[in-house]
Structure 1
Amino acid sequence: MKDVARHASVSVSTVSYVLNGTGPVSQERRERVLEAVKMLSYTPNEAARGLRQRSAPTVGLIVPDLTNPYFAMIAEGVERYSSERDALVVLCAPEVAGTSSSEPTTTRLLRSQRLSGCIFLSGASAVPRSLMELTELGPVVLVDELLPGFGLPAVVSDNRSGARAVAAHVLSMGHRRVGIIGGPSTLWSSHQRLAGYREAFASGGIEPDSIPLEVGDYRQESGFDAARLLMARSAGSDRITALVCANDLMAVGAIEYLRSQSLRVPEDVSVVGFDDVPFARSLTPRLTTVRQPAHDMGARAAELLFSLLENPDMSPPDYEPLPVELMVRDSVQPPRA
C-alpha cells in the first residue's frame, strides 16, 4: 500500500479508503489510486488483514475435483499435517468455478493470501497455465502426479506395481477376454497403470496390444461411456468377461452400464478399480481394487513442503513412490463357460 500511495502521490490512508470503501475520496484521487494499483499489479493481502498480530505459514492446496473422494482423502492428509505445524491451508478447487477460464481467479486468490508454498494435485488432462506463476510464490510440491519438464518434487504411489498386481489377479481367475478403461493419456499415472496392466498380460501369455482399450477422464460418467464402447466391440463367444478400470469412479460407471444392459457383476462380467476410495468396500459387489495411501501421500507432501520452506537450498528427490496394496473383494470371479 505504501508503494501504491507513493506512486499515486497520496497518503496510505487514502489508498485504504479507496480499496476498502471506508472513507470519502475525490474522484480524481480515486482514479490515481486505481491506476497505480493496476500498474503495480497490487493485490490486497487478505491473509495479513486477519493475521496482523501473529505470524503463521499459509499453504495453498489446489484440488482439481472435490467430488472425487480420493482427492478428498489426500486433502485431509495435507490439512492434518499442516494443522500440527500451526499452518493455515487455503483450498482452491478450480473446476468448481468452471473450466480453465477460472485459473486466473484461482491464481489471484492464491497470490492474495501471500502463500508460504503450494501443494498441487493434478487430476486433469491439461497442466494449468498458472502453475509456473505459483512457483514464483514459493516452493510447489506435486502429489499423485508427475509433470515431466517442470522439475518439481512429487509424492506419488507405486502405480505400476499396483496395476500389475490387479491385472494379474484378474488373469489368475481365468479371464482372457479383458478390456481396459484407462485414464487420461496426458497423465503420468495413466501411463504407469497402463504399463503395469500390459506387463501382467505379457507375463500371462497374452499379447498386450490385443487388449482393447478405451480412455476415460477418471470420472464416473466416462467409465459408463468407455464400458459401453468396449462391450460394443465384443459379442457372443468373444464377449469381454472382465473390465480393468484405472480408478474406482470409472469402475462404478462401468458397473452402472453393465447393469443397464442386464449384465451381472461379477457373474457375467468382472470389474476391478484403482484407489480404494471409502465406498469401494460397501458397493454390491464389494469392489476389488488397489489401495493407494492417499492420506499418507497428502501428509508426506505437506512434510516435504515444510522441509523446503525451512531449507530452501535442499535438493528434494524427483519423486517418492509410496507402496500400494491389492484389495481382493467380490467383484471378480472366474468367467462363465
Structure 2
Amino acid sequence: MKPVDLKQIARELGLSVTTVSKALNDYPDVSKKTKLRVKNLAIKLNYTPNSFALGLRKQESKTIGVIIPDNVHYFFSRVIKGILEVAEKSNYLVILMQSNEDYELEKKQVDLLIGKGVAGILISLSNKTHDFGHLNKIIDSNIPLILFDKIAKNVNCSKVIIDDRKAAYDAVSYLIKKGYKRIAHFRGDLNPQNSIDRFLGYKKALLDNNIEFDSSLVYLCNNNSDFEDGYNNAKKLLSDHKNNVDAVFTVNDLLAIGAIKYFNDNKIKMPESIAIFGFSNWFMSSVISPSLSTVEQHGFEMGKQSGTLLLHEIYCKHNRVKVEHQRIVIQTELVIRDSC
C-alpha cells in the first residue's frame, strides 16, 4: 500500500498542501479548527512524516552515520546500543556500517556518508587505518565528527575513550600483587592506539614493580586479535617458555578465551599453573571455565556519551555556536573471576 502523503490529506479536506503542512507543524496563521481537522485525518490515515524529506526542506539532516571495525565484538554491540538509545530519543536515524578492519573500506564508507548528507559521523577506526585524510575530509565538509574507542590522537575532533594505558597497568599490577612475576602479553596489531597503550600499560606495571621487561614474552596477534590467535599463541607460549611463565595478559577477551581453550585442551590448570587476565568483559567471559578476570570498558556508556556529544556538536553547528572539542574518558574497572 502506498504511504499516505500531504497531497492525499489536502485532497480529502479540500485544502492546499501548504495549509496541511502548516497545520501539522502548528503554524500560528492556521486556525485551531483547521489544525484539528488535519490532525484527526492524519491520525485516521496513519500518516507518518518523511523525516528525510523534512530534513531536506529544513536543510537539516536527521540522520547520523556510525562506522565500527567489527560487530562480532560484544563491546561494540554495547556501544551501538548506547548510540541508538540517544539517537532515538532525539528522533535521529542511524546508518550503521562495518569496516571489517579494512582501511580502504572505511574510506569508502566515509565518502558514502558524506554523500548522503548525514548530520554527523561517529567512527571507531580499523586496525589498518594508517592515514587520516578521510577524517579530515569529514571535518572540511563541516560535518561534526566524533572518534570513539580506537582513535587518531592528531585528528582535530572530539573523542570518547577509556584510559587504555591505566586499565592495562591496573590489570597487570593486580597480577603482580597476587604473586605472578613472569607475565606474558598477547598484544594487538602495532598500529591501533589502544593496542599501543595497553602494551605500554603492561610494560610500565612490570617496571614499576621491579620486574624486568622481557620482549620474548610479548606475542603479536595481527589476525584481528581473534580466538584462533589466542589459541595458537598459547601453544607457542608454552613451547617457547615451557614452565617459565605464570600469567598472561591479553589485549582483549577473545584472545584470552582462545588461550583458555588451549590450556583446557591440554589439561593445564588455571590459575594453578597459569593465570589469565583479559580485557573488555564480554558475556562469554563470565560463562567459560574458568571464568575470566577482565577489564570492564562500559561500552554502553561509551555509546551514550559518544552519541550525546555528537548531537551536541550538531546543535552547535545549526545554531552557529562555537564548538569546543572534548576528550571524554570513560572509567574502567577490574572484574576479578576464577582465572587468576
**Residue 174 (structure 2) aligns with:** 169
Given the alignment of the two structures, is residue 131 of structure 1 paired with residue 135 of structure 2, yes or no?
yes
Following superposition, the deviation at residue 56 of structure 1 comes to 5.4
Following superposition, the deviation at residue 113 of structure 1 comes to 2.7
Quote the Cα distance in structure 2 between the aligned partners of 1:150 and 1:248: 28
Quote the Cα distance in structure 1 between the aligned partners of 2:79 and 2:292: 21
**Residue 52 (structure 1) aligns with:** 53
How many pairs does the alignment contain?
280
The residue matched to 1:214 in structure 2 has which SS? strand
Following superposition, the deviation at residue 315 of structure 1 comes to 1.5
Identity %: 23
Matches within 5 A, 1:1-337: 51-53=52-54, 57-95=62-100, 99-103=102-106, 105-127=108-130, 130-135=134-139, 136=141, 138-209=143-214, 212-216=217-221, 217-236=224-243, 238=244, 240-312=245-317, 313-317=322-326, 319-332=327-340
Quote the Cα distance in structure 1 between the aligned partners of 2:188 and 2:62: 35
**Residue 6 (structure 2) aligns with:** none
Give 2:137's aligned amino acid. Answer: E
Give 1:115's aligned amino acid. Answer: V
Following superposition, the deviation at residue 203 of structure 1 comes to 2.6
- Are 1:157 and 1:293, in contact at CA under 8 Å, matched by a contact in 2? no
**Judging changes above 3 Å, is the alpha-carbon distance between structure 1 residues 210 and 101 closer, same or farther for their aligned structure 2 residues?**
closer
Q: Which moved more, 1:119-128 or 1:164-173?
A: 119-128
- Are 2:102 and 2:128, in contact at CA under 8 Å, matched by a contact in 1? no
**Judging changes above 3 Å, is the alpha-carbon distance between structure 1 residues 123 and 281 closer, same or farther for their aligned structure 2 residues?**
farther
Quote the Cα distance in structure 2 between the aligned partners of 1:249 and 1:257: 13
Quote the Cα distance in structure 1 between the aligned partners of 2:54 and 2:329: 40
Give 2:177's aligned amino acid. Answer: S
Following superposition, the deviation at residue 275 of structure 1 comes to 0.9
Give 2:235's aligned amino acid. Answer: R
The residue matched to 2:121 in structure 1 has which SS? strand
Quote the Cα distance in structure 1 between the aligned partners of 2:279 and 2:260: 14
**CA-atom RMSD, angstroms?**
2.3
Residue deviations 1:240-273 (CA, integer Å, cap 9, x gap): 1211111111111111222333323223221110
Following superposition, the deviation at residue 99 of structure 1 comes to 4.4
Quote the Cα distance in structure 1 between the aligned partners of 2:106 and 2:165: 31
Q: Which moved more, 1:131-140 or 1:301-310?
A: 131-140
Give 1:52's aligned amino acid. Answer: A
**Judging changes above 3 Å, is the alpha-carbon distance between structure 1 residues 105 and 190 closer, same or farther for their aligned structure 2 residues?**
closer
The residue matched to 2:329 in structure 1 has which SS? strand
The residue matched to 1:179 in structure 2 has which SS? strand
TM-score calculated relative to the size of structure 1: 0.76
Give 2:275's aligned amino acid. Answer: S
